[in-house]
């Protein structure tokens, strides 16, 4: 932002990007005009992790090729209904994901960083307009994490997408994009 001479920006952080957006808002509050935290949480002792059986399936990647890993975990990203009724979208998601495939060791470090993330004791310092968004069926970052964020960030607004999983921004794109645009327009 400094290199681009941006005085401030609207920030949307999704998943791990939400963790990073929290740190940006806490450490550089003058740079963040408005904040959207999507499919993310504050971590720490208030974190609600995915279920143990889901975590076991999520991490059972030994011997699998990248495409097999994506396909076995598709239910974490999208609802069963969306997967069944949008095969072209699913194939495009897989194709793009494979084109920009993350090495396994980098994924493990990313996952570890997410597990270590903890802003819960500082979230009350976020004093800018904040919208928290989640799917009510997110298996990766359970929606309870969004309720914790709403509780700890003063005057935060929460929007829950019924039936949404972790990639709610794809599955419910029109509704999601309208919420983002409306929030930023209302607060600029």
Q: What is the mean pLDDT of residues 80-96?
A: 96
- pLDDT range class, residue 68, cuts 50, 70, 90: very high
Res 168: pLDDT: 97
- pLDDT range class, residue 62, cuts 50, 70, 90: confident
Q: What is the mean pLDDT of residues 136-153?
A: 97
Share of the chain above pLDDT 70, in %: 100
- Domain 9-48+116-186: give its CATH superfamily: Alpha/Beta hydrolase fold, catalytic domain (3.40.50.1820)
Res 164: pLDDT: 96
Beta carbons of 165 and 135 less than 8 angstroms apart: yes
Tokens coding 3: 């290199």
Overall pTM > 0.85: yes
Q: What is the mean pLDDT of residues 147-152?
A: 98
d(CA 27, CA 35): 13
Report domain extents, the chain.
9-48+116-186, 52-110
Evaluate if residue 80 carries a pLDDT over 90. yes
Res 55: pLDDT: 85
Nearest Cα to Cα of residue 40 among 187, 172, 146: 146
Question: Which range is least confidently modeled, 24-33, 70-79, 128-137?
Answer: 70-79
> Which of helix, strand or coil describes residue 66?
helix
Res 56: pLDDT: 85
Evaluate if residue 179 carries a pLDDT over 90. yes
pLDDT tens per residue, range 5-29: 999 999 999 999 999 999 999 999 9
Q: Quick one: 41 exposed, middle or buried, by C-beta within 10 A (0-12, 13-18, 19+)?
A: buried
Beta carbons of 155 and 60 less than 8 angstroms apart: no
Res 188: pLDDT: 85
Element (H, E) at 20: helix 16-27
């Amino acid at each position: 932002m400094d290199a681009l001479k941006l005085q401030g920006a609207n920030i949307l952080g999704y998943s791990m990007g939400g963790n990073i957006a929290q740190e940006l808002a806490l450490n550089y509050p003058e740079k963040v005009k408005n904040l959207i935290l999507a499919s993310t949480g504050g971590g720490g002792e208030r974190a609600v992790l995915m279920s143990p059986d889901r975590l076991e399936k999520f991490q059972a990647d030994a011997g699998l090729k990248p495409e097999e890993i994506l396909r076995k975990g598709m239910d974490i990203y999208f609802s069963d209904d969306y997967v069944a009724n949008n095969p072209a979208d699913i194939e495009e998601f897989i194709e793009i994901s494979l084109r920009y495939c993350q090495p396994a060791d980098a994924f493990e470090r990313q996952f570890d960083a997410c597990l270590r993330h903890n802003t819960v004791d500082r979230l009350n310092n976020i004093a800018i307009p904040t919208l928290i968004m989640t799917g009510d069926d997110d298996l990766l970052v359970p929606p309870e994490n969004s309720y914790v964020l709403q509780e700890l960030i003063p005057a935060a607004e929460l929007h829950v997408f019924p039936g949404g999983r972790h990639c709610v921004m794809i599955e419910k794109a029109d509704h999601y994009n309208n919420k983002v645009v409306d929030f930023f327009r209302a607060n600029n």
